[in-house]
Amino acid sequence: MTSQTASFWDKQAKGYAAKPVKDVQSYEEMLAEVAKHLEPTDKVLEIGCGTGSTAVRMAEFVSNWTASDISAEMINIAKGKTAPETAHFLVADANSEFAEAPFDKVCAFHILHLVPDPQQTIKSIFDQLKPGGLFLSKTVCPGEMGLLPKLILPLMNMFGVAPPTLHFLKVTELETAVKAAGFDIIERRFFGKGKSSPYFVAQRPA
């Protein structure tokens, strides 16, 4: 499944990079909130970084921002961008053990519904954080979007335009998984009008 997922996103990389941000205001609000939790001495891991847009914006606030993605093509595009010296891009899946661990912060934006096992990935994030470290995430919860996505997903898979894994998470299921991994959720909110993509900050107990 890992190779299948990597292959899918490799094929999507150029088109993904060319797409504008759908909701610029919400994205900017999220970045502002993330920045509030960053310190100049922080070592940060971002999983599922895509083409590196967030890493390019946020790496200047920390001492090291390790941005990872399962797609080599996504990472190639990210490496071609002008980024702070503190940004480092590498190919790795969401559950990899990173040499730079433990981290002060781990970020996961719009990725947890796409990994093979969200609970396993969240536990992996917990294990790679320092005690007291923060997990910052904004996650799409397709389970909040009604029946239509479930009905059209098989057709999308048939034509190769849907990710190999897509979980119809609900907000309550996501929060339960985060707490089950050992985190304390210390902040939660939504950006914009939609209520299907919660942003939260969770802390590994000190």
Distances in whole angstroms, Cα of residue 56 to Cα of each of 36, 37, 84, 103: 17, 17, 7, 18
Reply yes or no on whether the pLDDT at 143 is more than 60: yes
* Rounded Cα–Cα distance for residues 144 and 30 (Å): 20
Predicted TM-score of the model (pTM): 0.93
Please report the pLDDT score of residue 145 as a whole number. Answer: 82
Q: Find out if CATH 3.40.50.150 is the number for domain 2-203.
A: yes
| pLDDT score recorded for residue 195 | 86
Question: Is it the case that residue 7 has pLDDT exceeding 60?
Answer: yes
| Mean of all residue pLDDT scores within the chain | 93
All structural domains of the chain with their residue ranges? 2-203
